[in-house]
Structure 1
């Protein structure tokens, strides 16, 4: 299986192996079957069930479970006890009555009782995977799809039984062939893990077709990915829509964004707003941010900067970094909201702690290059921000780094040297001089980068393993996380004499100035 499919398979397996919380058991159990006992009381209970009168159901089933004590009545009574219908939940009582039904070979009772043993519900009999496996085996061998699915998971994870992937596959397949959606979903994951994309897609489509929302969204994402090898964006849109219509907020956001941008569908502002608003009201920060973007740009809707700030603000409060950055930008220039540089700076800084930190670094770097952070942030802290701004092509960023480097700012020397090595071959020697100066002054990133340059021979075309090993050793001592591994890899290419020489050079470096410490770094 290619790396592209591993996230999907991992998610599928994670979804499949998590046993549902006990209050949701009823979702996996069909409504009471049409089969009734040949007594008038059961017919009255059926009518009460259909009417939602669970007090009558509970009282009636209790009587029938006790006398005449049929398996069906005992199973149904155990079910209402565990679900808490018509009275408080009674897990211990449920287990008792379900066990009575199991003794009369009631299949659904065995499956439900097994789930209780797997759930470790408060007031219940306690988790016992081995007992659950025994109950599920009884029900699975008699064809119960839910039991086959759960038994497959137990074999897959070695819970209550010895781990056996072949047995797991066979039980999952048995359930999947009975159109058990979660079994199909789990089987898709197994097939992707086994590098069988064709079968993986077949079972994923089957689960999606059975209405399993998670399968629908995973199938949509797979088909929407241009690198999946199974790309079909038209079909992906259909699955996004199906998942969106069941209330899946990510699907609603994806669908709304597609309509907003006219991506694979004709642009439709009304549909875009409908789906994005539904997702946003359900708490999806991405949808909030996308609405902010739409109103800020006037994309498909009339431009409304005040409303844009409102949506960005909601996304920011929900912790979305890109919404924080967009809101901060509006506050910085007073666009749709009163100008408030201090609050804007606070939002930029908060965004540094999110997955969208790169966007925040660029904006903070721009502000530093403009001199607007003077007195607010130490130049050393601003260096990685300005470097991000330079990589993004922001005006003045390189000039700021150059001025700071000339003023003796060691992190600036390191950052500028790395930038020149990456972007300007004509300045490699100048960059190397700066890099050595920063490394000698204790800058960890400079030490690590210098080691890599020397190991590859990027400085003059000739690798210098001894000097590279020395700098990897020094960087490792100062705590660079990747330096130890690089040092070991390089050491495997060196002779013992070369390694000894490199180690001696590192000791000499430390002895030359015992007060050397790593230069401060920041976000």
Structure 2
């Protein structure tokens, strides 16, 4: 059995992954503000006379094509002159040109060397860029600890994007002790400066009650602030609030509208959810073709949930020509990213020999990957593989253990299989009352074979046993932990 489509309704902390060129816009803006009163002729004259600040400004103008014709070669020339005199802004600009191979051959190590010089002099943009280099391992050995150190230097100077980045590091416990409280503090500083990513991240902290008292109202306030700036993460989050009816009246139409805004900006979470809205016909006319379009956009960006969903569309021939081969290729990509749903689906495809050469051994490999992540369907199927000795040595002890794990999550298939173990006394002590109760609970959850098993068992029970089985089933059904309640009965023999 292939399970339903994956639905992505949570959003990881979104970090501004600004590259060096993006920060040049910030840098150039500061040059332009200082240069408003200086005509180009005067800037050229001062630069020619060796004035480092004028040379640095001229380099930025050539890079951006402001006032003068855009020319990275000349930007490199003038930035080199100013950087040689120790001008921090020029060092940062020159490092950025090396980083992206603009006007000079790309050289990550030289880029970091120059940006470090600017950072040491206190240039906040350079400090942020150096932190990014450490976080990504570009031109330096990767180090989250060093990234945090440099993010902090820039953040303490009021650099909004660095404040957001430092918040992300605290939220994820990367390079620093995990602290939701500190994450919120830094997100708030940046959010209040208008940094859209931080506004969305602060909204997430409120939505999830991390580092603050949970508040959908506050979450929505910050999501809307981010969305108002056209931030895709904020737009997606507002859509999610409408989708779930949190702090707003539930509206599939509004959810679709907001998902679309974010999806058109390339946000994979939004593309996936928009695909799901089309697949389910919620807020839009049902269209498998459009579902495939949006799943594909996210899948091509490597998003595992979308790859899994697109794989299922290929497997079922919905919106695309049916192809088990394509389904397997997509499931494999997602499974290799540790997507449990895809790993489970890979196990099924290998067990059934669909799109791949049939292999119980490979089915076991994939079921185990998903089972180790707590995926109930995989735990159930791996249990069955152990019970039957398919692809590995037969072991009822292992089978029962896996059925119990899945049954504790409410899996009707696992409840039915565990019921059969108690009926036969396989891997457990035979107990027909427990078997009946497990069959009954599974049947109520919709497991059709369990209903047949339950009815067949009735004739083998005394009136007292049947009453006990019905009572136990009722208690299991309402229990928060079915297995704990079952074990309590088995130990005491009392209901």
TM-score bracket for the superposition, by shorter chain length:
0.5 to 0.7
| 2:366 corresponds to | 311
SS of residue in 2 equivalent to 1:234: helix
The reply to whether residue 405 of structure 1 matches residue 405 of structure 2 is no
Higher Cα Rg, which structure:
1
Contact map agreement 1:259 1:272 (CA 8 A) in 2? yes
Deviations 1:201-260 (A, max 9, x none): 122112112111111122222222256665322211111122222222222222222222
| 1:186 corresponds to | 237
| 2:129 corresponds to | 79
The reply to whether residue 240 of structure 1 matches residue 290 of structure 2 is no
Contact map agreement 2:397 2:427 (CA 8 A) in 1? no
Separation in structure 2 between the aligned mates of residue 392 and residue 211 of structure 1, nearest angstrom: 42
Out of 371, 377, 382, the residue aligned to residue 322 of structure 1 is 377
> How do residues 490-509 of structure 1 correspond to structure 2 at under 5 angstroms?
none
Separation in structure 2 between the aligned mates of residue 305 and residue 343 of structure 1, nearest angstrom: 17
> How do residues 202-213 of structure 1 correspond to structure 2 at under 5 angstroms?
202-213=257-268
Separation in structure 1 between the aligned mates of residue 160 and residue 460 of structure 2, nearest angstrom: 76
Contact map agreement 1:363 1:389 (CA 8 A) in 2? no
Contact map agreement 1:92 1:123 (CA 8 A) in 2? no
Pick closer, same or farther for the CA change 1:402–1:183 going to 2, 3 Å. same
Separation in structure 1 between the aligned mates of residue 114 and residue 288 of structure 2, nearest angstrom: 54
Pick closer, same or farther for the CA change 1:19–1:310 going to 2, 3 Å. closer
| 2:316 corresponds to | 261
Separation in structure 2 between the aligned mates of residue 155 and residue 329 of structure 1, nearest angstrom: 42
Contact map agreement 2:299 2:307 (CA 8 A) in 1? yes
| 1:475 corresponds to | none
TM-score where L is the length of structure 1: 0.60
| 1:45 corresponds to | 95
Contact map agreement 2:350 2:362 (CA 8 A) in 1? yes
Contact map agreement 2:164 2:197 (CA 8 A) in 1? no
Separation in structure 2 between the aligned mates of residue 359 and residue 198 of structure 1, nearest angstrom: 36
Pick closer, same or farther for the CA change 1:388–1:169 going to 2, 3 Å. closer
Separation in structure 1 between the aligned mates of residue 20 and residue 316 of structure 2, nearest angstrom: 42
Out of 380, 397, 408, the residue aligned to residue 353 of structure 1 is 408
SS of residue in 2 equivalent to 1:33: helix
- Between the two proteins, the alignment pairs up a number of residues equal to 393
Separation in structure 1 between the aligned mates of residue 404 and residue 342 of structure 2, nearest angstrom: 22
Deviations 1:415-445 (A, max 9, x none): 4xx5xxxxxxxxxxxxxxxxxxxxxxxx576
Separation in structure 2 between the aligned mates of residue 131 and residue 311 of structure 1, nearest angstrom: 41
| 1:392 corresponds to | 448
In structure 2, list runs of 5 or more residues that go unmatched: 1-5, 29-55, 59-78, 84-89, 481-491
SS of residue in 2 equivalent to 1:413: helix
Contact map agreement 2:115 2:129 (CA 8 A) in 1? no
Deviations 1:334-369 (A, max 9, x none): 45555554544444344323442x112212333444
Give 1:323 shift.
Answer: 2.6
Separation in structure 2 between the aligned mates of residue 366 and residue 99 of structure 1, nearest angstrom: 63
Separation in structure 1 between the aligned mates of residue 269 and residue 204 of structure 2, nearest angstrom: 18
The reply to whether residue 279 of structure 1 matches residue 330 of structure 2 is no
Contact map agreement 1:149 1:175 (CA 8 A) in 2? no
Pick closer, same or farther for the CA change 1:414–1:82 going to 2, 3 Å. same
Out of 16, 23, 40, the residue aligned to residue 32 of structure 1 is 23
Contact map agreement 1:362 1:386 (CA 8 A) in 2? yes
Separation in structure 2 between the aligned mates of residue 401 and residue 313 of structure 1, nearest angstrom: 35
| 2:286 corresponds to | 231
Contact map agreement 1:448 1:480 (CA 8 A) in 2? yes
| 1:377 corresponds to | 430
Pick closer, same or farther for the CA change 1:56–1:77 going to 2, 3 Å. farther
Contact map agreement 1:130 1:159 (CA 8 A) in 2? no
Deviations 1:54-104 (A, max 9, x none): 55444434544677x8xxx4422343147536576265565445555x5xx
In structure 1, list runs of 5 or more residues that go unmatched: 1-6, 103-108, 419-442, 450-478, 482-517
TM-score where L is the length of structure 2: 0.63
Pick closer, same or farther for the CA change 1:65–1:222 going to 2, 3 Å. same
| 2:420 corresponds to | 366
Give 1:110 shift.
Answer: 3.5
Contact map agreement 2:288 2:318 (CA 8 A) in 1? no
Separation in structure 2 between the aligned mates of residue 353 and residue 272 of structure 1, nearest angstrom: 30
Separation in structure 2 between the aligned mates of residue 226 and residue 75 of structure 1, nearest angstrom: 46
